[in-house]
Amino acid sequence: MQTTFALKGNLVYTPVCGELAQHPNSYLVCENGTVAGVFDVLPERYRGIPVEDYGDKLILPGFVDLHVHAGQYAYRGLGMDMELLDWLEQNAFPEESRFAEETYAEAAYRIFVDALLHSTTTRASIFATLHRPATLRLMQLLDQAGLPCYVGKVNMDRNSPDYLRETTEQSLAETRRWLEESSDFRLVHPILTPRFTPSCTDALMAGLGRLQREFGVPMQSHLSENLSEIAWVQELCPGTRFYGEAYAQFGLFGGDCPTVMAHCVWSGEEERALIKENGVFIAHCPQSNMNVSSGIAPVKQYLQEGQKVGLGSDVAGGAHLSILRAMTDAIQCSKLRWRLVDQDTPALTVPEALYMATKGGGAFFGKVGSFEPGYEFDAVVMDDSTLPTTRTCTLTERLERIVYLSDGRPCAKYAAGRKLF
């Protein structure tokens, strides 16, 4: 592997939310896996390094999927005619139970990893299923593909069918064993994954809190997605004032270990204050929120409040793995929210959506999602010559066309300084 090299092309990224940095026909230099800088002309000190010239194509930071269920990928686009809790019971749970079978898991995860590899996504925070061996195999496949992801073995010890439930002891023992066994992947790391409060007893949550402090791993779950779900959590956790407290009471809500919560469609003021105080990331999953009739999260407000926000495909609540699609879904939903719910909050813009899709979600992984010096070298090369038009477009317009119209398959892709294809 070349440790120092450059890509040449039209560079576009978002160092600040809502602002596009555009460097036409420029060099993006990689040194030891991180961005050394962006240059109009290659400086003297880089004379002679290999340069991959992508001509007139666009080069964007790798995209980040902050919330996706690998164990539901085979189910995408199916059974979309119900709300969350019914959808889980009738669709997601039966599908996930099949990952107990190693051959099924192998075939399904190979399809998922191949699709992720050929998408614009370089990093993702992934739910596997509750099965330790299948989860480890998914981590191995991602590691081999060169995709630096977080992957979680799911925990569930209540309110789920017999065929997809652990005892509390099993769940904690399997999680410990999985954390121990997943320590030696090169790029892929474990993330604690209690499915959501309704699926996890207090004893399990308390045990996961202890494991988090022992292993120092991040954590992901779901929060305030659906009104029936929120009402159920209130019944299950009568001592809490809001859903987020159901996690926070066990130390599982940001602070020392990074936490990402999917959805936050219906988070109230107190919950939003705690999310902000604890630096919890919000994974906005607009398509899933449409498909399972959850609603529209106030994402523009979250950005205005200074919350940490990224985008999630939430496959298979969402049908599409493409984070470009998540960008347009987020923009379109924000327009409907403006029109139907809150005319004081304007719609999202393409630069804001690109920020969430790259640097916003990327921050969950460290210095990820930008071409600023010191950022991990994640990049995708997009060819818009396949989108014929009679117009001569500016670089901003070419970005818009790629976001709205492209099939989401880059022609080249780099993650952590390594060329994947």
Binding site for its own copies (CB under 8 A): 74-81, 95, 98, 104, 107-108, 111, 114-115, 287, 290-296, 319-320, 328, 331-333, 335-336, 338-341, 347, 349-350, 388-391, 393, 397, 400-401, 403-405, 407
Closer residue to its own copies in complex, CB, 69/308: 69
Closer residue to its own copies in complex, CB, 10/171: 10
Closer residue to its own copies in complex, CB, 200/357: 357
Query: Shortest distance, CB of residue 33 to its own copies, whole angstroms?
Result: 32
Query: Shortest distance, CB of residue 76 to its own copies, whole angstroms?
Result: 7
Closer residue to its own copies in complex, CB, 147/280: 147
Closer residue to its own copies in complex, CB, 156/403: 403
Query: Shortest distance, CB of residue 403 to its own copies, whole angstroms?
Result: 7
Query: Shortest distance, CB of residue 348 to its own copies, whole angstroms?
Result: 9
129/69 Cα distance (integer angstroms): 8
Cα-based distances in Å from 20 to 16, 24, 52, 354: 8, 12, 23, 9
The secondary structure of residue 281, as a DSSP letter, is E
- Does residue 365 contact residue 404 with C-beta atoms inside 8 Å? no
On the 0-12 / 13-18 / 19+ scale of CB atoms within 10 A, 339 is exposed
222/282 Cα distance (integer angstroms): 10
Cα-based distances in Å from 24 to 166, 368, 409: 54, 22, 21
Residue labelled with tokens 């959506």: 353
Query: Shortest distance, CB of residue 105 to its own copies, whole angstroms?
Result: 9
9/7 Cα distance (integer angstroms): 7
Closer residue to its own copies in complex, CB, 247/266: 266
Closer residue to its own copies in complex, CB, 217/303: 303
Closer residue to its own copies in complex, CB, 260/316: 316
161/234 Cα distance (integer angstroms): 21
Closer residue to its own copies in complex, CB, 77/373: 77
Query: Shortest distance, CB of residue 77 to its own copies, whole angstroms?
Result: 3
Q: How many CB atoms lie within 10 A of CB 390?
A: 4
Query: Shortest distance, CB of residue 228 to its own copies, whole angstroms?
Result: 12
Query: Shortest distance, CB of residue 390 to its own copies, whole angstroms?
Result: 5
64/360 Cα distance (integer angstroms): 9
Q: Is 67 helix (H, G, I), strand (E, B) or coil?
A: strand
269/182 Cα distance (integer angstroms): 38
Of 215, 216, 211, 221, which Cα lies nearest the Cα of 244? 221
Q: Is 221 helix (H, G, I), strand (E, B) or coil?
A: strand
Query: Shortest distance, CB of residue 338 to its own copies, whole angstroms?
Result: 6
94/97 Cα distance (integer angstroms): 5
**Integer Rg of the chain from CA:** 21
Query: Shortest distance, CB of residue 250 to its own copies, whole angstroms?
Result: 31
* Alpha-helical regions (H) of 147-201: 168-181
Closer residue to its own copies in complex, CB, 190/351: 351
266: tokens are 């219906």
270/247 Cα distance (integer angstroms): 14
